[in-house]
Amino acid sequence: MELFRYSTSIYGGSDLLIGASWDLLPWFVAAGAAFIVLHALVKAVGSRRADQSH
Amino acid sequence: MSVSQANVSAAASAPGRIRRHLLVDRVYHWLMAACVLTLMATAFLPIIGYKFEWLGLHWTIGVVLSALVAIHIVRAVVWQDFWAMVFDGVDIRNGWRRIAGVLGGGRAPAPGKPGKYNGLQKLYHAGIAVLVLAIVASGLLMLLKIDTPLWRRNPYVLADYQWGWIYVVHGFAAMALVTMVMIHIYFALRPDEWRLTRSMFRGWITRREYEEHHDKQRWAADET
């Protein structure tokens, strides 16, 4: 997976950096979803334990 | 008297309610939310396949967001209680006690209550501030690459590789902002955080919520 986007320079030579790779966008969305699921699970387990201890 | 104290003092006249956000701050929040969501839509919808003329709307809303951020910075420094949003030693101690309580099965001392904002809210705000400032700064520079009714493009002020890094900063910060916005909306929708979401619509929390969730010493109420 590429981190950056490149284009070929019209003057030849090495590729030109033109920005971040948009292939990474699903990973950022997945990171948000993973945080949400993990937090919701931790809170659910915590509240269940609290209910049982009471 | 700080703005936080003044807010609480003003609300003390309304029985059972503590003012949390002034109208101007709520309007700012929702304007910023509308700008960020519009910018994310105009940036990412074309990338995932919904093609439309996105650039005009994107840079126009970007300029509006930049102005809003500038106003917010001045307001936060001059009129609001700036330090209420700064992560401090008490937040570190409370965070550590919370972690120790979870790992130690509840044997650690109980964490204290937060002031107006808890430690994680402050860290989240710091993260959002870094991302938005990076997006605004790189976006304002990128305006030099397009013609608008107000100025002509002049991309020659920077070298190609410098423009590349500016686009990298803009792109990575924008994608990270997607993650942060998802988390923000999740917390806003959680029932146990609903008092905070309601306060961003209506401006207040109840006195019971204030006493249950906040440290009076750190977010002082005027008991009149």
What interface predicted TM-score (ipTM) does this complex get?
0.89
Q: How close is the nearest chain B Cα to the Cα of A39, in Å? A: 10
Query: What's the token pair of residue B137?
Result: 């700064």
- Between helix B160-189 and helix B119-142 the angle, nearest 10°, is 150
CATH of the domain spanning B21-81+116-202, picked from 1.20.1250.20, 3.40.50.20, 1.20.950.20, 2.60.410.10: 1.20.950.20
pLDDT tens figures, A1-54: 899 999 987 777 788 999 999 999 999 999 999 999 999 998 888 787 777 776
Query: What's the token pair of residue B35?
Result: 């700008």
Q: How close is the nearest chain B Cα to the Cα of A28, in Å? A: 6
Residues in chain A: 54
Q: In chain B, where are the structural domains located?
A: 21-81+116-202
Tell which phi-psi region holds residue B130, choosing left (phi > 0), alpha (psi between -120 and 50) or beta: alpha
pLDDT tens figures, B96-155: 998 887 777 667 788 899 999 999 999 999 999 999 999 999 999 999 999 988 888 998
B167 touches chain A (CB under 8 A): yes
> B94 and B111 in contact (C-beta within 8 Å)?
yes
End-to-end CA distance of chain A: 50
B10 pLDDT band (50/70/90 cuts)?
very low
A31 touches chain B (CB under 8 A): yes
Residue B84 DSSP one-character state = G
Question: Angle CA(A4)–CA(A9)–CA(A13) in degrees, nearest 5?
Answer: 100
Q: How close is the nearest chain A Cα to the Cα of B166, in Å? A: 8
At A30, which amino acid appears?
A
Q: Where are the alpha helices (DSSP H) in A10-24?
A: none
| Chain A residues within 8 A of B120 when measuring between CB atoms | none
* Residue A33 CA, distance from chain mean position: 9
A49 touches chain B (CB under 8 A): no
Nearest CA among B127, B125, B131, B157 for reference residue B143 = B157
